[in-house]
Amino acid sequence: MDKKSLTSLFAESLFRIPDYQRGYAWETEHIDDFIQDIDALVEDKLTVKSHYTGTIVVYCGNDAKIMDYGTKRLKVVDVVDGQQRLTTSCLYLSVVFRSLVSKGESAFEREIPDFLYSGAICKLTPNNDTAGVFFDLLRMGRANTAAQSPHEARLVAASSRFQHHIDTQLAKRGTDGVAYLKELYHAVTQKLLFTFYTIEEECEIGMTFELMNSRGKDLSVLELLKNYLMHWVSRNTSASERNTLTALINKGWKDTYTNLGSCDGDEDQCLRIAWTLYCNHSPKNWHGYNGFKGDEYIPLRNFTATRTKVDTKSFISKFVDGLAEVSRYYSIVTSPTATNTTSSEELLWLTKIHHTGNIANFLPLMVAARRSLDSRMIVQSEYIALLKALECFAYRVFLYDGRRSNAGKSSFHRWASEVFTQSQTLSHVTAWVHDLTRHYATEESFNGENAAPSNWYGSRHLLKYTLFEYELHLLAEDGKGKAPHLKWEQLSDSTIEHILPQTPVDKSHWLAVWGQEEIKVCLHDIANLVLTQNNSNYLNFEFSRKKGLPGQSPSYSNSDIRQERKISGYSDWTPKEFSDRRKNLVEWINEHWKTEKGHGVPPLEVNDEADEDGVVKAGRKAPEEPASPSRSDSS
- pLDDT tens digits for 404-445? 999 999 999 999 999 999 999 999 999 999 999 999 999 999
Note the pLDDT of residue 489: 95
Q: Which of 111-120, 229-238, 270-279, 613-622 has the lowest mean pLDDT?
A: 613-622
This prediction's pTM: 0.79
Q: Give the Cα separation of 204 and 207 in Å (integer).
A: 5
13: which strand partners? 75
In this prediction, residues 527-533 reach a mean pLDDT of: 97
**Domain annotation covers residue 554:** yes
pLDDT, tens digit (0-9, with 9 covering 90-100), for 362-402: 999 999 999 999 999 999 999 999 999 999 999 999 999 99
Q: Give the Cα separation of 624 and 194 in Å (integer).
A: 62
In this prediction, residues 340-350 reach a mean pLDDT of: 96
Q: Please, what is the angle between helix 150-173 and helix 177-186, to 10°?
A: 140
Residues 214 and 193 reside in one and the same domain: no
Q: Which CA distances in Å does 489 have to 354, 400, 484?
A: 12, 21, 11
Q: Are 626 and 523 in contact (CB under 8 A)?
A: yes
Q: Please, what is the angle between helix 267-278 and helix 309-334, to 10°?
A: 130
In this prediction, residues 530-554 reach a mean pLDDT of: 90
Residue-level length of the chain? 635
| Percentage with pLDDT > 90 across the chain | 72
pLDDT, tens digit (0-9, with 9 covering 90-100), for 298-315: 998 889 998 999 999 999
Residues 163 and 52 reside in one and the same domain: yes
Residues 413 and 535 reside in one and the same domain: no
Q: Where are the alpha helices (DSSP H) in 335-408?
A: 344-356, 363-374, 380-393
Given a cut of 50, is residue 624 above it in pLDDT?
no
Note the pLDDT of residue 215: 40
Residues 173 and 223 reside in one and the same domain: no
In sequence order, the 6+-apart residues with CB closer than 8 A to the CB of 269 are: 330, 360, 363
DSSP three-state, residue 198: strand
In sequence order, the 6+-apart residues with CB closer than 8 A to the CB of 337 are: 347
Given a cut of 70, is residue 205 above it in pLDDT?
no
Residues 180 and 320 reside in one and the same domain: no
Q: Give the Cα separation of 401 and 419 in Å (integer).
A: 28
**Domain annotation covers residue 53:** yes
Q: Which CA distances in Å does 205 have to 25, 197, 228, 585?
A: 21, 11, 9, 62
DSSP three-state, residue 474: helix
In sequence order, the 6+-apart residues with CB closer than 8 A to the CB of 22 are: 220, 222, 223, 257, 260, 267
Is residue 5 exposed (0-12), middle (13-18) or buried (19+ Cβ within 10 Å)? Answer: middle
Given a cut of 90, is residue 577 above it in pLDDT?
yes
CB count in 10 Å sphere of residue 489 = 6
- Greater confidence, 448 or 219? 448
Q: Give the Cα separation of 615 and 277 in Å (integer).
A: 27
Q: Give the Cα separation of 309 and 436 in Å (integer).
A: 41
DSSP three-state, residue 275: helix
**Domain annotation covers residue 631:** no
Of 92, 233, 255, give the one whose Cα is nearest residue 159: 92
Residues 216 and 191 reside in one and the same domain: no
DSSP three-state, residue 98: helix
Q: Quick one: how far is CA 74 from the chain centroid?
A: 39
Q: Which CA distances in Å does 222 have to 83, 226, 258, 458?
A: 15, 6, 13, 41
Residues 6 and 116 reside in one and the same domain: yes
Q: Give the Cα separation of 54 and 588 in Å (integer).
A: 60
Q: Give the Cα separation of 604 and 277 in Å (integer).
A: 20
Q: Are 225 and 97 in contact (CB under 8 A)?
A: no
E-state strands within 384-495: none
**Domain annotation covers residue 621:** no
DSSP 119-188: TTEESEE-STT-HHHHHHHHHHSS-SS---SHHHHHHHHHHHHHHHHHHHHHHHHGGGHHHHHHHHHHII
Residues 39 and 180 reside in one and the same domain: yes
Given a cut of 80, is residue 617 above it in pLDDT?
no
75: which strand partners? 13, 66
DSSP three-state, residue 246: helix
* First and final C-alpha spacing in the chain: 68
Residues 348 and 414 reside in one and the same domain: yes
Residues 396 and 464 reside in one and the same domain: no
Residues 536 and 602 reside in one and the same domain: no
**Domain annotation covers residue 222:** yes
Calculate the average pLDDT of the chain.
89
Last residue of a domain, one of 134, 165, 200: 200
Q: Which of 262-266, 296-300, 586-590, 604-608 has the lowest mean pLDDT?
A: 604-608
Consecutive H or E run containing 73: strand 72-81
Amino acid present at 551: G
Given a cut of 70, is residue 16 above it in pLDDT?
yes
Domain that holds residue 391: 344-441+596-611
Given a cut of 90, is residue 345 above it in pLDDT?
yes
Given a cut of 90, is residue 61 above it in pLDDT?
no
Given a cut of 50, is residue 217 above it in pLDDT?
no
In this prediction, residues 441-455 reach a mean pLDDT of: 93
**What's the CA dihedral at 240, 241, 243, 244 to 10 degrees?**
130
CB count in 10 Å sphere of residue 309 = 14
Last residue of a domain, one of 200, 222, 256: 200
Q: Which CA distances in Å does 586 have to 212, 438, 447, 527, 580?
A: 60, 18, 8, 9, 10
Consecutive H or E run containing 239: helix 239-261
Q: Quick one: how far is CA 429 from the chain centroid?
A: 27
**Domain annotation covers residue 106:** yes
pLDDT, tens digit (0-9, with 9 covering 90-100), for 231-258: 898 889 988 888 899 889 989 998 998 8
Q: What is the DSSP letter of 318?
A: H
- Greater confidence, 377 or 264? 377
4: which strand partners? 194
Residues 12 and 108 reside in one and the same domain: yes
**Domain annotation covers residue 451:** no
**Domain annotation covers residue 389:** yes
Last residue of a domain, one of 172, 200, 228: 200
Phi, then psi, of 192 in degrees rounded to 5 = -80, 125
Q: Are 74 and 118 in contact (CB under 8 A)?
A: no
DSSP three-state, residue 68: strand
Q: Give the Cα separation of 596 and 437 in Å (integer).
A: 10
Q: Give the Cα separation of 312 and 330 in Å (integer).
A: 25
CB contact burial 91-113 (16+ within 10 A = b; e otherwise): bbbbbbbbbbeeeeeeebeeebb
Amino acid present at 588: W
Per the structure, how many domains does the chain have? 4
- Greater confidence, 110 or 479? 110
